[in-house]
Amino acid sequence: MDIDSQFSDQISLLLEPPSHVEIQEYFNELITFNKHANGIQVKPTNHYGKGVFAEMDFEEGDLVLKDQMLVGMQHSANKVDCLVCSCCFRFIGSIELQIGRRLYLQGLGSETHCSDMVSRHCSDMVSSDGSDMDDHLASQKCSSPSSINKLPLPTETVESLMHEKLALPYSNEFPLPSVVNCPGGCKEVYYFLQSQCLKLLYCAKCGETNDIFLLAAKAISSTILKYKKLKAAFSNEKMKNNISDVLGNHNFSLLLKAWKPISMGYKKRWWDCIFLPDDVDTSDEAAFRMQIRQLAFESLELLKAAILDEECLPLFSLEIYGHIIGMFELNNLDLVVASPVEDYFLHIDDLPEARKKEVEEITRPILDALEDYSICCQGTAFYPLQSCMNHSCCPSAKAFKREEDRDGQAAILACRSIKKGEEVTISYIDEDLELEERRALLADYGFNCKCSRCIEEA
């Protein structure tokens, strides 16, 4: 019997929508432990399930919420460019390590180059017409990688940067947290990234959806870890009290407890809620959804081969897997963290002219070797409180990273004044679009917006 049939009762319990009381208790606790969430409350709305409400007045620009992600990941392709903590997504190491590692991974370090080419280039840059570096930076930023006339650095320079043997001027003004390897020695922080599971990354069929499978794997593996911790604590307690029936029927209740954060997220099956791409005719919709289901099935098989846990089998059912991916599809927010490498080069550019000339003799070749100096950390994440915010085409708040927001937390700012008791809404789409375009985009989220603006414009 397959897992879905064997554990159908347990799967139904895992997917049962939480009661109002459970929702209230869970979110009250989450808010109590988050010092940047004390101005909001999660409550049922009249029509759209739960929503976020202001517990105090906010002025335009005020921080309404900083939300710690439940689960998130850096996009696979972005890992070459930015070395970040897999947990909080802060840039780590040093400016030198960030730059050296990127140049190395871009393959520039594998070629040998004569140093006079670099110095010739360097003197060209120094004796340039005095045009502002911002222009130079901007032109680099806009160019596509292939159109950039990159001037690679010598291998030794790249390696010295990467091993932090070469200190760049002023880099100590941009200190970063140290790199700590996973204690398990996996070289990746999460244990599900084992060789079998890596196939998920490279599955040609999956295309752009690969990251969402890995994110689902992360959600499942963190639930298993939480379950194991709860079970260990429970067993200890029983032993202390000399009770012989160590676990009895408690295993499933511990799994339910470990699953609770995910149980709170609004979710539907992935293949039922995924947006129908423009190039798929509506007459082919059923076949398209079957294909998506099959894709989920194949990726789940790979995940099972990598980390199946006999005590947590219901988590490996297609029904649960499909709902987890669907939850990300309907709720996830882009994860963006600005790069300190960009700050560093802008700082150099702002130095007094004479000093800048001197420093640029060292930094300009490095800048020229980089394809883009300002690549930020990019990924996707599920945020438990932010994901409770409903949509409005005239929203009262927006996700916006301020200068000081340098980690993976979501920052939600008021975009107008919000009165105590009012619902805090964000826009899921570009709210500057016309009514019909907005409607089309929101249909992908499975609802027809009836905010005051839509009603007025209709």
Ligand X SMILES: C[S@@+](CC[C@H](N)C(=O)[O-])C[C@H]1O[C@@H](n2cnc3c(N)ncnc32)[C@H](O)[C@@H]1O
Q: Which segment (24-32, 94-102, 242-250, 385-393) binds ligand X by CB under 6 A? A: 385-393
Considering the rule CB under 6 A, would residue 391 count as an interface residue with ligand X? yes
Q: Mark 33-52 with x for binding to ligand X (rule: CB under 6 A) and - for no binding.
A: ---------------xxxx-
Question: Could you tell me if 247 and 234 are in contact, meaning their C-beta atoms sit under 8 angstroms apart?
Answer: yes
Give the integer Cα–Cα distance in Å for 378 and 390.
24
Considering the rule CB under 6 A, would residue 396 count as an interface residue with ligand X? no
Give the integer Cα–Cα distance in Å for 102 and 106.
6
Residue placing its CB nearer to ligand X in the complex, 26 or 445: 445
Going by C-alpha positions, the residue among 408, 326, 412, 330 that lies closest to residue 70 is 408
Residue placing its CB nearer to ligand X in the complex, 43 or 304: 43
| Residue 391 bridge partners (DSSP) | 426
Return the residues of window 356-375 that contact ligand X according to CB under 6 A.
none
Q: How far is the CB of 1 from ligand X (least distance, A)?
A: 33
Candidates 26, 252, 288, 445; binder of ligand X (CB under 6 A) is 445
Give 265-276 as a DSSP string. S----HHHHSPP
Question: Could you tell me if 100 and 370 are in contact, meaning their C-beta atoms sit under 8 angstroms apart?
Answer: no
What are 398's two structure tokens? 């927006």
Considering the rule CB under 6 A, would residue 323 count as an interface residue with ligand X? no
Going by C-alpha positions, the residue among 433, 203, 207, 444 that lies closest to residue 329 is 444
Give the integer Cα–Cα distance in Å for 217 and 29.
26
What does DSSP say about strands 423-424 and 50-54: parallel, antiparallel, or unpaired?
Answer: antiparallel
What are 231's two structure tokens? 């079970």
Residue placing its CB nearer to ligand X in the complex, 17 or 107: 17
Three-state DSSP class for 91?
A: strand
* Residue bearing tokens 């001037």: 151
Count CB neighbours of 358 within 10 A.
12
What are 380's two structure tokens? 């996707």
Residue placing its CB nearer to ligand X in the complex, 75 or 438: 438
Considering the rule CB under 6 A, would residue 381 count as an interface residue with ligand X? no
Q: How far is the CB of 163 from ligand X (least distance, A)?
A: 44
Q: How far is the CB of 164 from ligand X (least distance, A)?
A: 42
Residue placing its CB nearer to ligand X in the complex, 331 or 396: 331
Candidates 332, 387, 396, 427; binder of ligand X (CB under 6 A) is 387
Count residues near ligand X (CB under 6 A). Answer: 17
Candidates 85, 292, 303, 330; binder of ligand X (CB under 6 A) is 330
Give the contacts of 110 (CB within 8 A, at least 6 positions apart).
155
Q: Mark 90-129 with x for binding to ligand X (rule: CB under 6 A) and - for no binding.
A: ----------------------------------------
Residue placing its CB nearer to ligand X in the complex, 281 or 422: 422
Question: Could you tell me if 217 and 197 are in contact, meaning their C-beta atoms sit under 8 angstroms apart?
Answer: yes
Candidates 168, 217, 315, 388; binder of ligand X (CB under 6 A) is 388
Give the integer Cα–Cα distance in Å for 48 and 46.
6
Candidates 28, 138, 447, 457; binder of ligand X (CB under 6 A) is 447
Return the residues of window 242-281 that contact ligand X according to CB under 6 A.
266
What are 38's two structure tokens? 């004390």
Candidates 179, 181, 446, 458; binder of ligand X (CB under 6 A) is 446
Candidates 331, 339, 363, 380; binder of ligand X (CB under 6 A) is 331
Q: Which segment (79-87, 200-208, 374-382, 445-453) binds ligand X by CB under 6 A? A: 445-453
Give the integer Cα–Cα distance in Å for 71 and 57.
30
Give the contacts of 226 (CB within 8 A, at least 6 positions apart).
258
Candidates 157, 390, 396, 427; binder of ligand X (CB under 6 A) is 390
Q: How far is the CB of 394 from ligand X (least distance, A)?
A: 11
Residues that bind ligand X (CB under 6 A): 48-51, 266, 330-331, 387-388, 390-392, 445-447, 449, 451
